[in-house]
Amino acid sequence: MAWYIGRRVLQMIPVFLGATLLIYAMVFLLPGDPVAALGGDRGLNPAVAEQIRAEFNLDKPFFVQYLLYLKGILTLDFGTTFSGRAVIDVMGEAFPVTIQLAVMALIFEGVLGIGFGLIAGLRKGGVFDATLLLVSLFVIAMPTFVIGFVMQYVVGVKLQWLPPTVGGDVSFQTLLMPAIVLGAVSFAYVLRLTRTSVAENLSADFVRTATAKGLTRSRVVNVHVLRNSLIPVITFLGADLGGLMAGAIVTEGIFNIPGVGNTLYKAIQQGQAPTVVSLVTVLVIVYIFANLFVDLLYAALDPRIRYA
Amino acid sequence: MPELTRPHQSHFFADLDSTPLGLVDLVDESAAPASLWVEAWHSLRRRPLFWISATLIALVTLVALFPSLFTSLDPGFCELKYSLDPPTAGHPFGFDRQGCDIYSRTIYGARASVTVGVLTTLVVVLIGSVFGAFAGFYGGWFDSLLSRVTDIFFAIPLVLAAIVVMQMYDDVSVMTVTVVLGVFGWPQIARITRGAVMSVKNADFITAAKALGSSRLATLARHVMPNSAAPIIVTATVSLGIFIVAEATLSYLGIGLPTSIVSWGADISKAQASLRSQPSVLFYPAGALALTVLSFIMMGDVVRDALDPKARKR
């Protein structure tokens, strides 16, 4: 196992370097000048543009720029926004909110997805199963922002069950609806994954043995079927945590939540390329670590992986 | 057929044709064995879901190609005096805030979504299958190298990468969206292709092809790839739907297609403001989008079931 962990962590290093280089290159090597864009249609005073370029190291050769940027990431120095605040301070305010939102979404999709998926898998081919499958397809086919608009309008404005926007008031109650919207698509995936996995395991030899031993139905299902079926589901949930942080851009915009997604969205609208790069980099690092964690968890749950 | 009942026979023998054994003899051995695809087709055509999604895909494609067949109205022609009016004769879906006919905008919006979906899927399959095939077939350090490159692109979530790149462009076209989504969307196909190629490349018929003098590249192209195509096609069909959603999300964020191109994503985004006074402004473009995506995802699902012999038996 130690050997597997070591190999997996070593593999992460080139991915980390490559991904950060890619993001940096996307923003600063592509046609289009982030500094010139700051001036809008009137254009920027050349002296001011020169000063901003020097401040963000944009006057140096590309690889020097990238190395300075990499040094910044490793020393947790993400630079400042164009308005002069340290990016790390902005993140310090925004990240806890987004993490709370993402974790709530994860719990929602995990509990309900596994629960409904289990019931559907146990009664594969039944009416309940068919209904759930169709509902899950509709949820996957519907863009998150449409689900968001409709929920906001129906639950928030019409029925007034939950507050329609969050604003400055971040609490469990205000984040509940955004979390459901954010987790909706993944909920459908978890449901389908659990269903397939349960239905497959039900006909496995070890389940027949357990039944033949005289175990009760509930013990066979809860201990033998469910535990084995959860391996792919847990993998999906772990990887999804990173995906949810990225998906938060849309959800946070709709419900006006002061999280990373909203900060990123505003930075994009204002053309603050260095801030965008910093925020995206942190999100990608979270994503890479989530994937690493999942792989290790997978190996811990399923011995076949680490000996392969 | 020889005579089975003999004079001294005390038991009854059934005629061979009426026993289950007769069925074995009935199989035509001279014909080619049914291929995976033929068998899949036989099981597909009995599934109602297949026909539903096939019909929907055909309809959406037709609408995207020839929108003028379905409406005589110009989607860009709007009159403010009709702003948010309910449906009337000739305008079955009513009007949006600018007084444009929602029906004709929904019809004309199909082209942008379907074009982005189809072209992006082509780009993704092209890049992904080449990367995955070479990595899986040649193995060794070459595989390690290509797999790490795939991991790098995989580490950046699709919409996030698209946001970073798209914010740089002022004049976005269907091509821009396609290229950006394509460049960051291929890793999944690459991984699936690599897995499929690796599971096929050690089969006996590949060894046979090599023994008959087929070069490595020819073996890969003629024998390995056709036998790895099934999972690639299934994933590509489902991703087509996902790319349409991604394009709409970019339009919603205001960095996708400009408002000069009629698209569902931009119309849905605009509908947010009018949702409270006239819900149908949101309902029709969102419904059309969801139905289109749904038909591709359903198609992928049904085809996956049909191509999987294990799932077919049950």
Q: Give residue-wise pLDDT tens across range A181-206.
A: 999 999 999 999 999 889 888 888 88
What's the pLDDT band for B313 if we cut at 50, 70, 90?
Answer: very low
Between A225 and A301, where is the model more confident? A225
**Of the candidates B152, B268, B286, which has its C-beta nearest A19's C-beta?**
B152
Q: What is the mean pLDDT of residues A99-113?
A: 92
A268 with B167: Cβ contact below 8 A: yes
**How many Cβ atoms sit within 10 Å of the Cβ of residue B48?**
8
Asked whether B298 and A137 are in contact (CB, 8 A), the reply is yes
pLDDT, tens digit, 9 for 90 and up, residues B167-225: 777 777 888 889 989 999 999 899 899 988 988 888 888 889 889 988 888 888 888 88
- Residue at token pair 């690599």: B194
**How many Cβ atoms sit within 10 Å of the Cβ of residue B134?**
20
**How many Cβ atoms sit within 10 Å of the Cβ of residue A177?**
23
**How many Cβ atoms sit within 10 Å of the Cβ of residue B274?**
18
Asked whether B132 and B190 are in contact (CB, 8 A), the reply is yes
The span from the CA of B225 to the CA of B227, in Å, is 5
Kindly tell me if the per-residue pLDDT of B128 is higher than 90: yes
Most confident among A75-89, A234-248, B287-301 (mean pLDDT): B287-301
Q: SS3 letters for A34-94?
A: HHHHHCHHHCCCHHHHHHHHHHCCCCCCHHHHHHHHHHHHHCCCCCECCCCCEHHHHHHHH
The span from the CA of A74 to the CA of A72, in Å, is 6
Cβ-based neighbours of B34, under 8 Å, separated by 6 or more? B42
* Amino acid at the residue A191: L
Strand-pairing partners, residue A80, are A86
**Of the candidates A16, A149, A288, which has its C-beta nearest B272's C-beta?**
A149
B168 with A157: Cβ contact below 8 A: no
Kindly tell me if the per-residue pLDDT of A123 is higher than 90: no
**Of the candidates A31, A137, A268, which has its C-beta nearest B294's C-beta?**
A137
Strand-pairing partners, residue A86, are A80
Closest approach of chain B CAs to the CA of A285, in angstroms? Answer: 8
| pLDDT number for residue B314 | 42
Q: Is this model's pTM higher than 0.95 or not?
A: no
What's the pLDDT band for B29 if we cut at 50, 70, 90?
Answer: low
Domains identified in chain B and CATH numbers: 35-83+90-313 (1.10.3720.10)
Closest approach of chain A CAs to the CA of B148, in angstroms? Answer: 7
Between B118 and B39, where is the model more confident? B118
pLDDT, tens digit, 9 for 90 and up, residues A30-67: 655 666 666 666 677 777 777 777 776 667 777 787 88
**Of the candidates A11, A141, A253, which has its C-beta nearest B294's C-beta?**
A141
Asked whether A299 and A306 are in contact (CB, 8 A), the reply is yes
Between A239 and A257, where is the model more confident? A257
B168 with A27: Cβ contact below 8 A: yes
**Of the candidates A26, A146, A269, which has its C-beta nearest B286's C-beta?**
A146
Q: Pick the residue from chain B with its C-alpha nearest to A292.
A: B155
| pLDDT number for residue B1 | 46
Residues of A in contact with B161 (CB under 8 A): 23, 26
| pLDDT number for residue B15 | 67
| pLDDT number for residue A146 | 86
| pLDDT number for residue B6 | 56
Average pLDDT, chain B: 82
Q: What is the mean pLDDT of residues A75-87?
A: 75
Of A55, A255, A57, the C-alpha closest to A173 is A255
**Which of B150, B168, B281 to mutate: most A Cβ within 10 Å?**
B168
The span from the CA of B247 to the CA of B114, in Å, is 10
Of B107, B134, B304, the C-alpha closest to B217 is B134
Q: What is the phi/psi pair of residue A86, to 5°?
A: -70, 130
* Amino acid at the residue B65: L
Q: What is the phi/psi pair of residue A115, to 5°?
A: -60, -55
The span from the CA of A135 to the CA of A124, in Å, is 15
Kindly tell me if the per-residue pLDDT of B59 is higher than 60: yes
**Which of B146, B148, B150, B156 to mutate: most A Cβ within 10 Å?**
B156
| pLDDT number for residue A184 | 92
The span from the CA of B130 to the CA of A290, in Å, is 28
Four-way CATH pick for A89-268: 1.10.3720.10, 1.10.1530.10, 3.40.50.12280, 1.10.10.970? 1.10.3720.10
Kindly tell me if the per-residue pLDDT of B54 is higher than 90: yes
Kindly tell me if the per-residue pLDDT of B123 is higher than 70: yes
CA B311 from centroid of its chain's CA atoms? 20
Structure tokens at A184: 């909706």
**How many Cβ atoms sit within 10 Å of the Cβ of residue A2?**
7
Handedness of CA B51, B55, B58, B60 (dihedral sign): negative
Structure tokens at B231: 């999972």
What's the pLDDT band for B311 if we cut at 50, 70, 90?
Answer: low
What's the pLDDT band for A179 if we cut at 50, 70, 90?
Answer: very high
% of residues, chain B, pLDDT over 90:
17
Of B100, B94, B108, B54, the C-alpha closest to B77 is B100
Asked whether A47 and A29 are in contact (CB, 8 A), the reply is no
Structure tokens at B112: 């942008």
The span from the CA of B245 to the CA of B154, in Å, is 19
What's the pLDDT band for A172 if we cut at 50, 70, 90?
Answer: confident
Q: What is the mean pLDDT of residues A158-181?
A: 84
* Predicted complex ipTM: 0.80
B152 with A22: Cβ contact below 8 A: yes
**Of the candidates A143, A280, A288, which has its C-beta nearest B289's C-beta?**
A143
* DSSP code of residue B81: G
Chain A contact present for B116, CB below 8 A? no
Q: How far is CA B259 from CA B108, B268, B269, B270, in A?
A: 13, 12, 10, 10
Of A187, A169, A168, the C-alpha closest to A179 is A187
Chain A contact present for B255, CB below 8 A? yes
Between A180 and B20, where is the model more confident? A180
Residues of A in contact with B170 (CB under 8 A): 32
Q: Boundaries of CATH 1.10.3720.10 in chain A?
A: 89-268
Q: Pick the residue from chain B with its C-alpha nearest to A18.
A: B152
| pLDDT number for residue B17 | 63
What's the pLDDT band for A171 if we cut at 50, 70, 90?
Answer: confident
| Alpha helices (H) along chain B | 20-26, 36-44, 48-65, 102-138, 140-154, 158-166, 174-185, 187-200, 204-211, 216-219, 225-252, 264-271, 280-307, 309-313
Q: What is the phi/psi pair of residue B158, to 5°?
A: -50, -55
Q: What is the phi/psi pair of residue B12, to 5°?
A: -85, 130
Kindly tell me if the per-residue pLDDT of B133 is higher than 90: yes
Closest approach of chain B CAs to the CA of A221, in angstroms? Answer: 20
Helix axes B225-252, B264-271, angle to 10 degrees: 30
Q: What is the phi/psi pair of residue A71, to 5°?
A: -60, -40
What's the pLDDT band for A124 if we cut at 50, 70, 90?
Answer: confident
User: If residue A101 lies in a helix (H) or strand (E), which one and from where to where?
Assistant: helix A87-122
